[in-house]
Amino acid sequence: MKFKLLFFLITFFFINAHAQNYIFGKVISEDSAEIPDVTVINIRTDEMVVTNRDGHFMVSGRAGDELRFIKAGYERIGRKVSKENIESPINVTLAKATILIPEVEIKQGITGNLKIDAKNLNRPKKVEKLIKDMDRYISQKSDPRVLAARPGEFVQPKGQGFSIGKIKNKWDDVDLINYLHSALGDEYFTDLKIDKPLIEHFISYVLAGGFERKSILKYGFCSDADLNRFQRFVLTRISSYRAPQTQR
């Protein structure tokens, strides 16, 4: 009887210690604004969820797990789950990512005024004389016979012009893949368990799954909303990408 009771107590404590809980929380910016569409990853279980429009999230986990918070344009951070976090929500603040602007050296440019440019650029007298001679030559009227067509020479007829067809897109898929890789960074994809050499292959796989990008390619511009839409689309394709080739 004592052995059965001891076995029951050990089993109870083991199940209680390894019980799966749900962790609730909210993600806000430095100015206390709710941040939607933040990817929250439990590093231990690989479970991924996205915050709603009020910045709230719910993910399964337990004390000791590490949660990773990722969103384009913000510094990504990790948080260890404590016992207190199981009983009360986790509040996470994301800081805007710092963008370094390269230093630009400003040089004196050409204004178009010959006197000012000659003074600023300190041209030699021979150059100044050449410029004056060119101005004098250009001001002279040309003989129309110089530009007249020669006998038998083809002359382009005058008209209203012609159409050259549709304007080409400013970007193609390769440009978009390079931009998404650069904008989201290697760490975003490695957090998704995508090896660095396969990042661009994975992005191509996601695009081939039906990601709408006509406007992006047409104008050569990918907005923050497009990045967020791509991140949500990634979550629908990551499982099939990890599956064996025969199961895709």
- Residue 166 domain flag: no
- Residue 61 domain flag: yes
- Residue 162 domain flag: no
Q: How confident is the model at residue 4 (pLDDT cuts 50, 70, 90)?
A: very low
Backbone angles phi, psi at 128, to 5 degrees: -60, -40
pLDDT for residue 9: 47
Same domain, 129 and 89: no
- The residue ranking higher by pLDDT, 4 or 22, is 22
- Residue 65 domain flag: yes
Same domain, 127 and 196: no
Q: What is the pLDDT of residues 57-69, one digit of tens each?
A: 999 989 899 999 9
- Residue 59 domain flag: yes
Residue 129 has pLDDT above 60, yes or no: yes
Identify the H or E element spanning 85.
helix 83-87
CA distance 1 to 18: 26
- Buried b / exposed e over 157-166, threshold 16 CB at 10 Å, is eeeeeeeeee
CB contact at 8 A, 188 and 206: no
Same domain, 49 and 85: yes
Q: How confident is the model at residue 152 (pLDDT cuts 50, 70, 90)?
A: low
Backbone angles phi, psi at 214, to 5 degrees: -60, -45
Domain of residue 126: give its range.
107-134
State both tokens at 23. 């962790």
pLDDT for residue 39: 94
CATH for 62: 2.60.40.10
- For the whole model, what pTM was predicted? 0.41
| Average pLDDT of span 26-54 | 93
Same domain, 76 and 121: no
Same domain, 233 and 177: yes
User: The sheet that has 56-61: what strands, in order across it?
Assistant: 56-61, 21-29, 90-94
Same domain, 66 and 23: yes
Q: Comparing 9-23, 35-49, 133-147, which segment has the lowest mean pLDDT?
A: 9-23
pLDDT for residue 59: 92
Q: Average pLDDT, whole number, for the chain?
A: 79
Q: What is the pLDDT of residues 73-128, one digit of tens each?
A: 999 899 999 888 887 888 999 999 876 566 655 556 666 565 566 566 565 677 77
pLDDT for residue 7: 46
Same domain, 120 and 84: no
Same domain, 120 and 82: no
pLDDT for residue 194: 92
CA atoms within 13 A on the CB side of 51: 25
pLDDT for residue 36: 94
Domain count, the chain: 3
